[in-house]
Amino acid sequence: MRQETRVKLKNVLLSFKRSIVEVPYSIEELKRAYPFHSLLFPGEALIAFKKQRTVVTKMGQQLIPELAKIVAEDQYVEVHRNYEIMGQLDEAKIKVIDNIVNELRMGRRKPNHQKEIQEILAAKGGEAREVRVIADLFIGDFKPGPLFLEIKSPLPNLDVCAESKRKMLLFQALFENKNPQAFLALYYNPYYPKRYKHSFTKRIMDMNEEVLIGEDMWNKLGGEGTYDELLRIIEEVKKADI
């Protein structure tokens, strides 16, 4: 990782840390708001609990996508957040994609990335229709082909999983001649050191072909060792005066 990239990551982390303000509630107010939590957690822990809910939302929407962009820019040039992709696609392919996602939602089929792509690419005969998808992170010059990431919290609900799957399949259909890469990127594994096992993700996604979790996500973007370097930077920021 270049020193320039390291500095950018550190600055973003510091800025995020400074942006987290104190919880504007007293311990007594929180005890009334969360009476059952107060049975198990002392007052300061209740404050931390309340703060954590705000932090997690901001982290997923702001911090993680920006860190991912900076990490990717260490290796690539065509890196974009919230990148709009539009194109014409055979209606027959769109119908197959919708059917695949609906069947996965209802448990009528098991996720199988290679089989799904074969079904989609074989579908023909409809009129061309314009489709639009937005990548949380897009890398146009990624090797071996353009990369589309859906960056989500590690425990997405069923609707989020299904919509991410649909977007990923539409992207791959649009870029079928460019060896497209598409993944659901989960920026940490809440089950660590055990294997990831969230049921909604496993129902919709081919875990071996379509999902990057924690270290695999960060190393995919920045190369081997990126995740370990990011952990070192976080430790440095934790010790910094703000």
| pLDDT at residue 242 in the model | 59
Chain-centre distance for alpha carbon 136: 8
Q: What is the DSSP string of 80-137?
A: EEEEEEEEEEEHHHHHHHHHHHHHHHTTSS---HHHHHHHHHH---S-EEEEEEEEEE
Any idea what the Cα angle at residue 216 is, between residues 232 and 11, rounded to 5°?
Answer: 35
Stated as kind and residue range, the H or E segment containing 151 is strand 147-152
Domains of the chain: 1-75+226-241 (no CATH), 76-222 (3.40.1560)
- In this structure, how many other beta carbons lie within 10 angstroms of the beta carbon of residue 39? 8
- In this structure, how many other beta carbons lie within 10 angstroms of the beta carbon of residue 54? 12
Q: Are strands 211-213 and 181-186 parallel, antiparallel or unpaired?
A: parallel
| pTM (global) more than 0.85 | yes
| Neighbouring C-alpha atoms within 13 Å toward the C-beta of 223 | 7
Buried/exposed code over 81-110 (b: 16+ C-beta within 10 A; e: otherwise): bebebeeebbebbbebbeebbeebbeeeee
| pLDDT at residue 241 in the model | 66
Per-residue pLDDT of the chain (242 residues; tens, 9 = 90+): 999 999 999 999 999 888 876 767 788 888 888 888 888 888 888 888 877 777 887 888 889 999 999 999 999 999 999 999 999 999 999 999 999 999 999 999 999 999 999 999 999 988 999 999 999 999 999 999 999 999 999 999 999 999 999 999 999 999 999 999 999 999 999 999 999 999 999 999 999 999 999 999 999 999 999 999 999 999 999 887 65
Distance, CA of 207 to CA of 111 (rounded, Å): 8
| pLDDT at residue 52 in the model | 79
